[in-house]
Structure 1
């Protein structure tokens, strides 16, 4: 869980109790948060890369002196400002600490205003360092998320933004997506980019567990709780302590068990089967469904109170047919993964096959596309005729003829751009259209010139 943000704080260390008290009062009167310490060891315990503060230390102290404290603190974070206070005879030592990385040094006796000015500058520098690090972390997270959830469509950009916004919270999340759309991938991203990432991620497929054992799987049991329960067993929810519980196909959970799950989510406590003892659990709940749970709860097939408890935040994974422009990019991403698994080179993609990939409805979504990418890399799709074809059932493809033609032209142009490594002349020559005609089509179809 996200800890409260610490205010910018000065960690002041000196072995003189009168000076500590006076300096502490002066900082407080100036509106600067301060913590005072009698030894360097106590300060060093509080130094981390995320410390929102600075160190002000006397240079001569019993035990660890100020110079040693500074060196140890800078080993933890080289960008941490350390201000050294020195006596008149210790100026050469203070100059040496400046060479070793001290932010500033102040010679005793000093005016309090001089120290306050130096501390305010140092705290501002620290604020900027932490802000830059936070921005870099966000960018790194966005890159990592884009590698997991591949796609340039607006729907995927929105999904990644929503995951980023929710990952750092403990809000319950309900993920909705069709079969094979990547619901567990989204759930794992919510876990891996949260502060619970080092704790267990426990996935439970409610549809795959028989009704007579799902309660024991979730909540555990004591020895002798039922026939065959020879030993105590820790349930999945308890095992996930500090982490995330992912309930896939939540619509398949029996109604009587939904009551117990609701109580667990509300109270964050469980009772093992055969026990009267209540056990606290610190977990985050993420559920996934391919059904409309609002409709299921309205018809009595799913408890409405559990639905509303789970639906604090709702993530929708778009099916592939609703983001056809992502299909080529995602296919080559999956093909690269297959190349690494099978140690095979990726065959050349023909424009005809790419067009058919775009035209297919992909009822199995990413899972189905991954299977095709695997077979393609294994050499089982050597000719375009083997590629998936659109389903011919009437009414399955609701796109207009113009939309289908646009998809086909888009696929052809992208394939040729890839083949020519982004050079336009070979593209319009092979397609037998004018240069202006190619530019016009690329602009109308939203194709960038550097694609491929």
Structure 2
């Protein structure tokens, strides 16, 4: 059973506070009362787990002023205003500022209970969504793999949450090595189908006849595996390399999608991994299939557009490989940090994983540089893409953030040890951690 929502009652008249509180408590609400708006503001923060009922006319700060402050802190907080008989202009002003609704004295207690119920349901939905977004930012195991604080990664996580909660088919495209399959897993994990089947088929890995059978059947007596469309029923079917489907199989897929109707019995997440220069999924898919899939679309950001995420990823990956190989992770110099930020990364995150592992191995041997690994990789991987130059300030800040982050991790959040190693006074360290969004609690 869901925990009862709180109701904060703000009124300067004690009898009114008590009567409202008693009535709502009988309805199962957890109430708390305040004799003034000033007292209420000491408790009512942006994530207050409930709603507010406030009188408009109060000495000192009145209800409208309180409402404005509450809306400034959390515009989704439901506030029900109590107005005197005939105070229509005040009620109109309250609704304009953002009040959920208003009650006119003398009011019907049942009407108040009904308003409280609607407001509480709205608040619970808001808080649930907010909690889910926080989980998305750094909670679940899958989401923890989507590392990065760059604007493009923030948007990607928001898109995953929004599209995960939707129920339509999805197209994921972008350059090779950007993590498209990981995002398909994440879409399934944060949506209503999370407990259902997740089936992945690589369309480029099978010949047409074998692929047709794998996707649609028919089943033979000796077959132990259902066709993918049947196997994923009620869940998610991920089709990697969707562009490898022939026109015939595209038509069959579209027919199955049309038969399912809305909402789809099986959600299809198509991954486009085109390698040909100048080609897009729109160029190679039937228009009717493309538009069915692309109604919900995620385009993965290339690594070169993710700024200091590159250093964060490199640090995490090198630490993981160092633990695997039983050695220390390589220390990145300022020059090497700039080289990592400037590299074109045609292979994106997949290439960065490879570089991080090789950097750990050569560090264990005591030879080689990150620059040499980047040079050899760029010679092997064609075509080489170019990156836009960045201001020196961005390189310096990215390196500084990485250095503080690494040192905090190494000393498990000991501020004194970090101050000593980096020769920084406490105030300067605090300011820089705040600037880069680093919190001591994350390292303890």
Q: 1:260 to 1:372 in 2, by over 3 A?
A: same
CA distance in 1 between counterparts of 2:279 and 2:332 reads 43
CA distance in 1 between counterparts of 2:130 and 2:437 reads 30
Is this contact kept in 1: 2:318–2:330, CA < 8 A?
Answer: no
Q: 1:409 to 1:255 in 2, by over 3 A?
A: same
Aligned residue number for residue 214 of structure 2: 217
Is this contact kept in 1: 2:243–2:281, CA < 8 A?
Answer: no
Is this contact kept in 2: 1:247–1:288, CA < 8 A?
Answer: yes
The count of aligned residue pairs is: 318
The answer to whether the aligner puts 1:350 opposite 2:333 as a matched pair is yes
The answer to whether the aligner puts 1:385 opposite 2:380 as a matched pair is no
Q: 1:170 to 1:331 in 2, by over 3 A?
A: same
Is this contact kept in 2: 1:172–1:286, CA < 8 A?
Answer: yes
RMSD after superposition: 4.3
Deviation at residue 428 of structure 1 after TM alignment: 9.4
Residue 171 of structure 1: SS of its match in structure 2? coil
Question: Higher Cα Rg: structure 1 or 2?
Answer: 1
CA distance in 2 between counterparts of 1:241 and 1:308 reads 22
CA distance in 2 between counterparts of 1:292 and 1:51 reads 54
Deviation at residue 49 of structure 1 after TM alignment: 3.5
Aligned residue number for residue 399 of structure 1: 388
CA distance in 1 between counterparts of 2:275 and 2:162 reads 24
User: Once structures 1 and 2 are overlaid, which stretch shifts more, 342-351 or 358-367?
Assistant: 342-351
Give ranges in structure 1 of 5+ residues lacking alignment: 1-47, 53-79, 84-112, 224-228, 270-279, 430-435, 437-441
Deviation at residue 132 of structure 1 after TM alignment: 3.4
CA distance in 2 between counterparts of 1:297 and 1:349 reads 39
CA distance in 1 between counterparts of 2:306 and 2:160 reads 18
Q: 1:284 to 1:50 in 2, by over 3 A?
A: farther
Q: 1:337 to 1:124 in 2, by over 3 A?
A: farther
Q: 1:186 to 1:328 in 2, by over 3 A?
A: same
CA distance in 2 between counterparts of 1:267 and 1:140 reads 35
Give ranges in structure 2 of 5+ residues lacking alignment: 6-26, 31-106, 409-414
TM-score normalised by length of structure 2: 0.59
Aligned residue number for residue 35 of structure 1: none
Q: 1:359 to 1:264 in 2, by over 3 A?
A: same
Q: 1:380 to 1:250 in 2, by over 3 A?
A: farther
Residue 308 of structure 2: SS of its match in structure 1? helix
Is this contact kept in 2: 1:352–1:412, CA < 8 A?
Answer: no
The within-5 A match list for 1:320-335 is 320-335=303-318
Aligned residue number for residue 190 of structure 1: 187
